[in-house]
Amino acid sequence: MNVVEYISGILKGVKSLLIGMKVTGSYFFRPWKIVTQQYPENRKKDVKWFYFLPLWKAHGKDTPAERKQIVMLERFKGELIMPHNEKNEHKCTGCGICEMNCPNGTIEIISIQLTTEDGKKKRAIDKHIYRMGMCTFCGLCVKTCPSDALAFTNTFEHAVFNRTKLNKVLNKEGSTLMKGVE
Amino acid sequence: MTDEQIKEKILKILPEVEIPEGKPTLTVIVPPDKLFTLAKELKESPDTSFDYLICLTGVDYGKSMSVFYHITSTKFNHTIILKTSTQNRETPAFDSVYSIWKTAEYHEREAYDLLGITFNNHPDLRRMFLDEDWVGHPLRKDYSDPINIVER
Amino acid sequence: MAEILEVKDIAQQEYLINMGPQHPSTHGVMRLVVSLNGEIVKNVQPHCGYIHRGIEKMCEKLTYPQIIHLTDRMDYLSAHMNNASVCLTVEKALGIEIPERVKYIRTIMDELQRIASHQLWWCAFGMDLGGLTCFFYGLRDREPILDIFEESTGSRLIQSYYTPGGLMNDIHPDFQKKVKEFIKYFRKILPEYDQLLTGNVIFQERTKGIGILSKEEAINRGLTGPSGRGSGFACDVRKRAPYHLYDKVDFKECLYEEGDTFARYKVRIDEMWESMKIIEQLIDNIPEGDYTAKMKAVIKLPEGEFFQRVETARGELICFIVSDGNKNPLRVKFRSPNLINLASLNVMSKDFKIADLVAISGSLDLVIPCMDR
Amino acid sequence: MAFSFSIYDFTSFTQWIDKSLYAAMPPFWALIVEMVIIGIVFLGFYALLGLFLVYAERKICAFMQCRVGPNRVGPFGFIQTIADLIKLLLKELIFIKNADKILFNVAPFIVIIVSFLAIAAIPFAKGLHAMDFNIGVFYIMAVSSMGVIGVLLAGWSSNNKYSLIGAMRSGAQIVSYELSVGLSLITIVVLAGSMQLSTIVEGQRDLWFIFKGHIPAIIAFIVFLIASTAETNRGPFDLAEAESELTAGFHTEYSGIRFAFFFLAEYMNMFLVASIAATVFWGGWMPLHINGFTGFNHVMDFIPPIFWFFGKSFFIMWIMMWFKWTFPRLRIDQLLTLEWKYLLPINLVNVLLMALIVLMGWHF
């Protein structure tokens, strides 16, 4: 091996190592570049000051507390719900299309026959059962629902102590079908 | 080469193949015992040069067992499908194309594992995903597993 | 009682170690039975199937729109491309023309997903080689992409965004702005990857000349994706059999002739640049229109066989559907690029050190759920 | 002797303890009591420093990686390492079937005792020095190289293939890097003309050796930094543990407090080599003095020596942590290539160069 090559090889290697060290070192001295979100705290509005002490410097225009506030995006598929209005009415007609479209049997609809005022028989839901433990959040039920009765909320903390607690009934107690929805 | 030329070429190599019309990709139905020779010829002749086996699929039609070979040429970029079938559903066996395309090794092992198709002259035909002592081949139409498969 | 072994017996014995199912460098539950001679790898025997879920069997019982949500669970880092494979096959079989807007969005989403996947690969590869800091930088830069996905599709990893004929829902109004912001940010940050890892002399020593696979061998073994392109095999489906809008955009197929681990690494870094280029060409020109084509409520494919080749982040994915005319497919086969790439591991790592085996399997970028399906 | 205590000079304080002990009891017992006191002080120091270093490393690596690091247990996560220690103490010690029981149990103790032995020769401040050997440098090198025995025994007795590979790697690594560590220290010994650490420190009264010895001293320092990082199984040289290859290398099978011993020993070894580097190259507890600048020297003298010592050691440790969190790991053959083809020849030339400089009187 040539001596010049040997030494220039060493110098080149050392230089490449120093370039790498520059990257990590520069981040070490720039604590405002930290991207960690501190989970249980960032949900609250009143963020305690000392959670962000390592991030003294404000991030641009926002204060650290604002920057680290958790942002839930509106389309986030957290949990299936059936929106009810203030009169406790929902839009589900009990047609069963969501049950049919669900790929893994998450939804089960127990329907009853109602007799309306003018004597007609009509199908309505008794229970819209949603087994969250089986749900894969593919969104087919919401997409295919003809009356837009289902929606996703962005709650995401679903941990429970018992698996049966994941089986939910989506229609509320005593709720009725919204007027004008067929 | 266009599809027409490939068709002519294949018919010249092996007159007993059947080429159905109206397929989106040129599909050639080959008798199982002639498949290996045709494949080898298609790979080695310089004007076709099908050197890349994209995919090998075993299919259980319920009555017969088939294997599809999607082959393409990296040189000419033309793709055809070879199909071969057997009526013997109990012990279907085809010739392995491992010696032509080495990529067939895992494809064939997979087909053996899930469909029970044996490939002659395969260097290492073992189960791929399932345990060695697994009974049955899950992708077969008559496979039943009352515990794990929920019928809807 | 242990047998008393002669020295020459011991020399002939294989020193077998199990890498996995629980091992930091297999990135999932895969087992590599490695026979060693000292530190030198003599033979690698992969054992997969630890997370075999039978997706192909499940597909036979489901309708076509329902299959989509299973496909993201194969290669969870290329969820969009996996969805696209089924969607494109079904659309091809039905012969429907999808709106131009959908094509644009699908292309952009695919490329974003490719960047995200390569970022995760980069950090995992750095970690395989012992540079833990890479892991956090990669994940940090992947976060904006996941936020973009979450905003439009509703989930971060497993989106199920494509449906046969179009998309689940339209893109978010902020989508274009966010994507442009990300591209601006990432163009600035990507050179940092090179500074930290690519140029590093230790890294180059660890990867150059390691795990060489020739072009002929790569074609013969079906090594596709960035791994195949590192061997000089021009296997980019986006060029060879264009789908989406890839025939209209201008991008380079990254090819390296060396076939070693470093070439595979470079291909992926270059692909991130190329993906950004593709996105920049499209992001301003998304045409107005429907986000889905008119589809029947129950999709039934005509009898026959249909397939679509799709370039995922790690290779060529094929969705092959055999239909008997019902609403369920008769047989669905996914050609997993990971499984086929894994087959080359033994050839590549022969006579290299055990540390190189980790580097080589890292450079193949294996995603185990795709392998096992 | 009257009691006196000064933060600038511990000599009178230690002398006072010594004198009062010898006055109070027969010499034999006085010696025993003295040894026990020093042992307890070192044990306490050891535990506290270990806890602090683990915390510091986690925080430093977190900041380099754009993270916050431990921040849950106590303010800024200060109590995190104490919580970890309690967890490790409470954990079950798993005994491996077919393991060599005696060696398996002895190995962590060997590793920790070795690092404990070496710390005795370190001068922390003026007069704060447990044993001032006239061959201090040699003693430290001799003692610290024994740690490899513990690592080898741990790997072999675990009856685990990963552990064995890790231990063998570690053996090859430490034995070869021992050479570079020794030679780079010898370079400075040539300059200082003594192996006694107190003399070496005193010799840096007017200027630290790294500045005094021109280029050879700087080269020796860099070589020492690299070689000692390798010797402590850290940073880019952590092949013995090599998480992504060998899961945890030689301590794969250890659990609970026995694992904690290995863990602690790693940090203490790091402190040890950092303090040797600080003592030998950067003047130890000696403040920064520049010949001629009397005012400046007085200002520097105002900072107590013990802060100088720990400041330098922590700075060197920070550099070692910087290495670890930047570089990918080397392969075993590259590791040995680096030692035998690069560091060792450079070192040998360097010693000659230094000898020449000393002979010609070219140093400052």
Tell me: the pLDDT tens digits for C337-349?
A: 888 888 888 888 8
Which tokens is A80 given?
Answer: 């299936």
CB pairs under 8 A between C and D: 80
pLDDT confidence of residue A139: 83
Residues B45/B38, Cβ–Cβ less than 8 Å? no
CB atoms within 10 A of CB C245: 19
Nearest CB to A34: which of D66, D76, D342?
Answer: D66
| DSSP secondary structure string for all residues of D228-289 | HHHHTT-GGGGGGT-HHHHTTGGGTT--HHHHHHHHHHHHHHHHHHHHHHHHHHS-TT----
Question: Does A75 reach chain C within 8 Å, measured CB to CB?
Answer: yes
Report the SS3 class of residue A22: helix
Q: Which CATH architecture has domain B3-88?
A: 2-Layer Sandwich (3.30)
- Lowest mean pLDDT: which of A48-52, A123-127, C287-291, C348-352? A48-52
Q: Give the chain D residue whose CA is nearest to the CA of C362.
A: D244
A110 phi and psi angles, rounded to 5 deg: -105, 115
Is B10 within 8 Å of B41 (Cβ atoms)? no
Q: What is the mean pLDDT of residues C223-248?
A: 85
Do B24 and C306 make contact, defined as CB atoms within 8 angstroms?
yes
What DSSP element (H or E) covers C344? none
Q: Which two tokens stand for residue B109?
A: 């092992």
- Cβ contacts (< 8 Å) between C195 and chain A: which residues? 19-20, 22-23
Hunting for tokens 């001799």 — which residue is that? D142
Query: d(Cα C32, Cα C346) in Å, to the nearest integer?
Result: 10
Instruction: Say if residues D197 and D122 touch (Cβ distance below 8 Å).
Output: yes
B73 SS3 class? coil
Confidence of residue C11 (pLDDT cuts 50, 70, 90): low
Q: Which two tokens stand for residue A74?
A: 């509106």
Alpha-carbon distance of A42 to C195, in angstroms, equals 33
Q: Which residue of C has its CA nearest to B129?
A: C49
Closest Cα in chain C, distance from residue B142 (Å)? 12
Query: pLDDT digit string (tens) for D282-291?
Result: 877 777 777 7
Residues 6+ apart with CB under 8 A from A13: C201
Contacts of C120 (CB under 8 A, 6+ apart): C77, C138, C139, C142
Predicted confidence at residue A63, as pLDDT, reads: 45
Q: Across chain C, where does the E strand assignment appear?
A: 15-19, 31-37, 40-47, 162-163, 166-167, 304-312, 315-323, 331-335
Residue C282 lies in a domain: yes
Q: Do C316 and B54 touch (CB under 8 A)?
A: yes
CB pairs under 8 A between A and D: 48
Structure tokens at D38: 């020093």
User: In chain D, where are the structural domains located?
Assistant: 75-360
Amino acid at residue number C206: R
Q: Is C42 on the interface with B (CB under 8 A)?
A: no
Question: What are the chain D neighbours of C21 within 8 Å (beta carbons)?
Answer: none
- Specify the pLDDT at position C243: 85
Give the residue from C238, C244, C240 showing the smallest Cα distance to C98. Answer: C244
Q: Which residues contact D43 (CB under 8 A, 6 or more apart)?
A: none
* Residue C5, pLDDT above cutoff 60: no
In Å, how far is C276's CA from the nearest CA of chain A? 23
pLDDT at A53 over 60: no
Is the pLDDT reported for residue A71 higher than 50?
yes
- Provide the ipTM: 0.83
Per-residue pLDDT of chain D (364 residues; tens, 9 = 90+): 566 666 677 777 777 877 888 888 888 888 888 888 888 888 888 888 888 888 888 888 888 888 888 877 777 778 888 888 888 888 888 877 777 788 888 888 888 888 888 888 888 877 777 777 788 888 888 888 888 888 888 888 888 888 888 888 888 888 888 888 888 888 888 888 888 888 888 777 777 777 776 788 888 888 888 888 888 888 788 877 766 677 777 788 888 888 888 888 888 888 888 888 888 888 777 777 777 777 777 777 777 888 888 888 888 888 888 888 888 888 888 888 888 888 888 888 888 888 888 888 776 6
**What does the pLDDT read at residue A59?**
40
What is the chain B residue with the closest CA to C52? B129
Query: Contacts of residue D63 in chain A, CB cutoff 8 Å?
Result: 27-28, 31, 34, 54
Contact (CB<8Å) D243/C24: yes
Contact between B119 and B106 under an 8 Å Cβ cutoff? The reply is no
State yes or no: chains D and B have 3 or more CB pairs below 8 A.
no
Q: What integer pLDDT is reported at residue A60 of this predicted model?
A: 40
In angstroms, the CA D215 to CA D209 distance is: 11
Check CB contact of D342 with chain A, cutoff 8 Å.
Answer: yes
> Measured between CB atoms, does D69 come within 8 Å of chain A?
yes
**What CATH number should be reported for the domain holding residue C252?**
1.10.645.10
**pLDDT confidence band for A67 (50 / 70 / 90):** low
Q: Do chains A and D touch (3 or more CB pairs under 8 A)?
A: yes
Q: Could you tell me the pLDDT band of residue C6, with boundaries at 50, 70 and 90?
A: low
**Predicted pLDDT of residue A55:** 47
Q: Does C40 touch chain D (CB under 8 A)?
A: no
Backbone angles phi, psi at D160, to 5 degrees: -135, 135
**In C90-158, which ranges are E strands?**
none
User: Which of B55, B61, B138 faces C335 most closely, judged by CB atoms?
Assistant: B55
Q: Which two tokens stand for residue A6?
A: 């040997």
Q: Say if CB A5 and CB A11 are below 8 A apart.
A: no
Is residue C189 less than 8 Å (CB to CB) from chain D?
no
**Cα–Cα distance for residue pair A13/C201, rounded to 1 Å:** 5
Q: What is the mean pLDDT of chain A?
A: 76
Comparing C-alpha atoms, which of D255, D5, D284 is closest to residue D136?
Answer: D284
- Judge whether C105 lies within some domain: yes
Q: Three-state SS for D158?
A: coil
Per-residue pLDDT averaged across A102-127, rounded?
A: 79
What gap in Å lies between CA C49 and CA C211, rounded to an integer?
25
In this predicted structure, the answer to whether residue A58 has a pLDDT above a threshold of 50 is no
**Element at B9 (helix H, strand E):** helix B3-13
The DSSP symbol for C61 reads T
Does D337 contact A at CB distance below 8 Å? no
For residue A25, what are the β-bridge partners?
none
Query: How would you classify residue C288: left for phi > 0, otherwise alpha for psi between -120 and 50, otherwise beta?
Result: beta
Give contacts of A 14-43 with D, CB under 8 A: 17, 20-21, 23-25, 27-28, 31, 33-36, 38
Smallest Cα distance from B33 to chain C, Å: 23
**Rounded to a whole number, what is the largest CA-CA distance in chain D?**
68
Calpha distance D176→D185 (Å, rounded): 15
Q: Which residue has the higher pLDDT, A51 or C352?
A: C352
The alpha carbon dihedral of C345, C347, C348, C353 has a sign of positive
Instruction: Please give, rounded to a whole number of angstroms, the shortest distance from the CA of C321 to a CA of chain B.
Output: 10
Rounded Cα gap, residues C142 and B81, in angstroms: 39
Q: How far apart are CA D133 and CA D136, in angstroms?
A: 5
Residue A57 has pLDDT above 50, yes or no: no
* Domain, as residue range, for C81: 12-372
**Is the CB of residue A45 less than 8 Å away from at least one CB of chain C?**
no
Overall domain count for chain C: 1
Contact (CB<8Å) C195/A19:
yes
Residue matched to tokens 């949603």: A130
With an 8 Å Cβ cutoff, is D323 touching chain A?
Answer: yes
Q: Look at residue D61 in the predicted model and tell me its pLDDT.
A: 86
Q: Is the pLDDT of residue A149 over 80?
A: yes
Greatest alpha-carbon pair distance for chain C in Å reads 79
Q: How many CB atoms lie within 10 A of CB B129?
A: 22
Write a three-state SS string for chain B: CCHHHHHHHHHHHCCCCECCCCCCCCEEEECHHHHHHHHHHHHHCCCCCCCEEEEEEEEECCCCEEEEEEEECCCCCCEEEEEEEECCCCCCEEECCCCCCCCHHHHHHHHHHHHCCEEECCCCCCCCCCCCCCCCCCCCCCCCCCCCCCCC
Q: Strands B52-60 and A121-131: what pairing? A: unpaired
Element (H, E) at A153: strand A151-153
Q: Please, are residues B111 and B57 in contact by the beta-carbon 8 Å criterion?
A: yes
Q: CA-based diameter of chain B, in Å?
A: 53
Percent of chain B with pLDDT over 90: 0
pLDDT reading at C106 higher than 50: yes
User: Minimal CA–CA distance to B140: which of B130, C67, C301?
Assistant: B130
The reply to whether residue A51 touches residue D71, judged by beta carbons under 8 angstroms, is: yes
Closest CA to C193 of C138, C142, C140: C138
Contacts of D200 (CB under 8 A, 6+ apart): D136, D137, D188, D189, D192, D194, D209, D279, D280, D284
With a threshold of 0.80, does the pTM exceed it? yes
Q: What is the pLDDT of residues C125-169, one digit of tens each?
A: 888 888 888 888 888 888 888 888 888 888 888 888 888 888 888
Report CA-CA distances (Å) from D138 to D118, D177, D267. 11, 15, 22
Instruction: Give how far the C-alpha of residue D212 lies from the chain's centroid of Cα atoms, to the nearest Å.
Output: 23
Residue A62 has pLDDT above 70, yes or no: no
Distance CA C227, CA C355 (A): 19
Q: Tens digits of per-residue pLDDT, D209-244?
A: 777 767 888 888 888 888 888 888 887 888 777 666
Among A19, A101, A152, select the one facing C154 at the smallest CB separation. A152
* CB atoms C132 and D65 under 8 Å: yes
Task: Please give the pLDDT value at position A48.
Answer: 53
Residue A69 has what pLDDT? 65
Across the interface, whether the CB atoms of C130 and D165 are under 8 A apart is answered no
| Whether pLDDT at A52 is above 60 | no
Backbone angles phi, psi at D32, to 5 degrees: -60, -50
Dihedral in degrees, nearest 10, Cα atoms C87, C92, C95, C97 = 60
Q: Over range C200-227, report the average pLDDT.
A: 86
Q: Which residues of D touch C200 (CB under 8 A)?
A: 327-328
* Mutation site for B-interface testing, chosen from C61, C307, C334 by largest number of B Cβ within 10 Å: C307
Structural tokens at position C72? 């993201």
* d(CA A53, nearest CA chain C) in Å: 21
- Whether chain B has a CB inside 8 Å of the CB on C61: the answer is yes
Mean pLDDT estimate for chain C: 85
Given CATH 3.50.50.60, say whether it is the number of domain A79-177. no
SS3 at position C161? coil
| Beta carbon pairs, A and C, within 8 Å | 69
Burial grade of B146 (CB within 10 A; 0-12, 13-18, 19 or more): exposed
Other chains touching C, judged by 3 or more CB pairs under 8 Å: A, B, D
Q: How many alpha carbons fall within 13 Å on the CB side of residue C351?
A: 3
Q: Report residue A54's pLDDT band, with 50, 70 and 90 as the boundaries.
A: very low
pLDDT exceeds 70 at position C1:
no
**Contact present, C275 and C114 (Cβ < 8 Å):** yes
